[in-house]
Amino acid sequence: MKQFLLVIMSITITVAAYAQSEPTVRCKSEAMALLFDLKGLSDIGANNYRGGLGAMAFISDHLALRAGIGFSNNIEKKNNAAQEETTSLAVSITPGLRYNVYNSSNVALYTGGEFTFGMGEVKNEAGGSQTSKAQATTIGGGLFAGAEWFPWQNVSLMLEYGVGYTGTTSKLTVGTGSEIDGPESSDISLGLTSANFTLAWYFN
């Protein structure tokens, strides 16, 4: 918590220092950026919007369309007599709309909404034959609000909070090939646990 407060204080002080500088906010039509999530890069997956990488394009002044892509693939092998192997794969995509409600010379405040869709699979094998497989589908959406600070014209740092809902359904396949419905789950995220830092690079 202390580290989080130090980060906020540092950003606040720096923003104040740049308050009278040349305008650097990018919010005009056709401005485009690549988004790199500073939280998601360490845990790329399909369980949330960010997943590490995204893009944003302003379709009109102050209104932007954005999308995040998540992908993970992992293979774990066990050196035992059964030659067990577990393969995990997950993908997700989250489109959304963002609107800037306030702009100063180098700070923008914004809000918006988004939708997320993800699919995942975990497959277990032994001796080259599949023993079980679990598949899951996640659908959700939410609202967000944040601040974007521009230390330079083509680079910004965003701090964003959101509230969202996701629901997950799953299906299990046993070694005989028969399928059964797996567990279902739902999740509501709100507050510090849903905060994200994002680095944006504007390339036009």
33-68 residue pLDDT tens: 998 877 544 444 333 334 568 899 999 999 999 998
**Domain range 2-202, CATH architecture:** Beta Barrel (2.40)
Q: State the Cα–Cα distance between residues 92 and 105, nearest whole angstrom.
A: 35
Sign of the CA dihedral running 46, 108, 60, 55: negative
pLDDT value for 32: 96
The pLDDT value recorded for residue 46 is: 36
- What's the pLDDT tens digit per position in 13-29? 455 444 445 668 899 99
The pLDDT, as a whole number, for residue 86 is: 87
Q: Which parts of the chain have pLDDT scores under 50? A: 2, 5-6, 9, 13, 16-20, 40-50, 193
What's the pTM value of the predicted model, to 2 decimals? 0.73
Domain range summary for the chain, segments of one domain joined by +: 2-202
What distance in Å separates the CA atoms of residue 134 and residue 14, rounded to the nearest whole number?
48
What is the model's pLDDT at position 14?
A: 52
- Using CA of residue 131, residue 169, residue 120, residue 159, what is the dihedral sign? negative
Residue 101's pLDDT is 96
- What 3-state DSSP class applies to 30? coil
Question: Identity (one letter) of the amino acid at 116?
Answer: T
Instruction: Tell me the C-alpha distance between 24 and 185, whole Å.
Output: 43
Sign of the torsion angle spanned by Cα atoms 40, 46, 49, 54: positive
